[in-house]
Amino acid sequence: MTEAQYRQVTITRITEQVPGVKTFELAYANGGAIPYRSGQFITFVFTHHGKEERRSFSISSSAQAGESLAITVKRIDNGAYSRLLIDRAKVGDVLQTTGVAGLFTLPADALGKQVVFFAAGIGITPVFSLIKELLAGTDDTTAMLVYSNRNKSEAVFLAELDGLLSRYRTRLTIEYLYSDAQNLARARLNKALVRTLLNEYAPGDRSKMLFYICGPYEYMRMVIYALEENSIKDEQIRRENFNMNTRPVVVAEPPDKAPHNISFVHNGTEQTITAQYPETILKAAIRHNIALPYSCEAGRCGSCALRCTSGKVWHSYNEVLMDMDLRHGSILTCTGYAVGGDITIEV
């Protein structure tokens, strides 16, 4: 994506949630609301030490609940972009974005289901957005939230969540967990506590339930293991990973390293390039000045997801696309390679 293709957004409102965490409401700089789905994220582009960098932030608002796009940012010590937003950004500032993306969204068939959310710390942002969408959207879907924080003073959206609790008494359950709690049986989340909470709040047929997890890497890994031990299938679990520093040390290699043609189809026009391992589809596209969305470049965020309409793509790493997505042709260009022949991708 060239600079001319970035969109500019303006900060229209800033609210401090707790010290070091602020919510920023955004609109297009030339006017108009930014379209989005609950659970997605928006990616910003900025220059740091002369180099172009990108950071993504989950959307904490819900269009279904009538809210304009908002992000909620936690200040990271020594963080280049989060400190810029928390310490210096003001209403009226203009930010550059590559747009909204992400697959941490509710499926069309979520209606009538029980949805269980696990969030820790600032990982609450996309979960808060999803819960609002789910509760605003239908009368028979129920939500359970397990929300972990180090202590109560760091927990974001407490008043709003309590407001939802009293408004949707029969459809929402929340278990707040604090690491500093006196009662150690309900403090830090562990596998045994996941089992206890599931038995307490989500009895019934778990094969129909959906599970959403967002938080630190180790937390997410523990919850996923715990769910699997409780017979929850991988395809029932959606995860959103904020931490891009957890890439596996061993990177797999594709079964086919020959050059293949990649045709990008966009609005009826087609452009074909050639790529060969170790150049990913994304890297080859950038080399040819083809504007594709991306953020983490590590198979973790989903912003580069596109649809492959013919041929086969092999991924060196994929943490976001589920089997169902892959079956429908979704691919990640940042870790994807054409294998076994030429491919066509819709942009």
Ligand X SMILES: Cc1cc2nc3c(=O)[nH]c(=O)nc-3n(C[C@H](O)[C@H](O)[C@H](O)COP(=O)(O)OP(=O)(O)OC[C@H]3O[C@@H](n4cnc5c(N)ncnc54)[C@H](O)[C@@H]3O)c2cc1C
Where on the chain is the footprint of ligand X (CB under 6 A)? 41, 55-58, 71-74, 76, 78-83, 122, 125, 240, 242-245, 296, 301
Q: Tokens 């045994």: give the residue.
A: 192
Q: How many residues bind ligand FES (CB under 6 A)?
A: 13
Binding mask 308-337 for ligand FES (x = CB under 6 A): ------------x-----------x-x---
Nearer to ligand FES, 194 or 313 (CB): 313
102 binds ligand FES (CB under 6 A): no
Answer for the pair 279, 296: CB distance below 8 angstroms, yes or no: no
302 binds ligand FES (CB under 6 A): yes
Q: For the CB of residue 122, give the shortest distance to ligand FES in the complex, in Å.
A: 19
The residue range among 135-143, 150-158, 192-200, 297-305 that interacts with ligand FES, by the rule CB under 6 A, is: 297-305
Could you say which of ligand X, ligand FES, none residue 332 binds, taking C-beta under 5 to 8 angstroms by partner kind?
ligand FES
Candidates 3-11, 45-53, 255-263, 291-299; binding stretch for ligand FES (CB under 6 A) = 291-299
Shortest distance in whole angstroms from residue 291 CB to ligand X: 20
Would you count residue 299 as binding ligand FES (CB under 6 A)? yes
Query: What is the spatial distance between Cα 89 and Cα 73, in angstroms, rounded to a whole number?
Result: 12
Q: How far is the CB of 1 from ligand FES (least distance, A)?
A: 12
303 binds ligand FES (CB under 6 A): yes
Contacted by 304, from ligand FES, ligand X, none: CB < 5 to 8 Å by type: ligand FES
Asked if 215 interacts with ligand FES (CB under 6 A), we say no
Count Cβ atoms within 10 A of the Cβ of residue 258 and give its class: 0-12 exposed, 13-18 middle, 19 or more buried. Answer: exposed
Give me the least distance between CB of 5 and ligand FES, in Å please: 16
- Of 120 and 284, nearer to ligand X (C-beta) is 120
Residue 79 contact among ligand FES, ligand X, none, beta carbon within 5 to 8 Å by kind: ligand X
294 binds, among ligand X, ligand FES, none (CB under 5 to 8 A by kind): ligand FES
Based on CB atoms, which residue is closest to ligand X, 79 or 340? 79
Closest CB to ligand X among residues 35, 341: 35
Q: How far apart are CA 260 and CA 308, in angstroms?
A: 14
Q: Does 301 bind ligand FES (CB under 6 A)?
A: yes
Three-class DSSP labels, the chain: CCHHHCEEEEEEEEEEEECCEEEEEEEECCCCCCCCCCCCEEEEEEEECCEEEEEEEEECCCCCCCCCCEEEEECCCCCHHHHHHHHHCCCCCEEEEEEEECCCCCCHHHCCCEEEEEEEHHHHHHHHHHHHHHHHHCCCCEEEEEEEECCHHHCCCHHHHHHHHHHCCCCEEEEEEECCCCCHHHCCCCHHHHHHHHHHHCCCCHHHCEEEEECCHHHHHHHHHHHHHCCCCHHHEEEECCCCCCCCCCCCCCCCCCCEEEEEEECCEEEEEEECCCCCHHHHHHHCCCCCCCCCCCCCCCCCEEEEEEEEEEECCCCCCCHHHHHCCEEECCCEEEEEEEEEEEC
- Which of ligand FES, ligand X, none is residue 334 near (CB under 5 to 8 Å by kind)? ligand FES
Q: Which residues bind ligand FES (CB under 6 A)?
A: 294-297, 299-304, 320, 332, 334
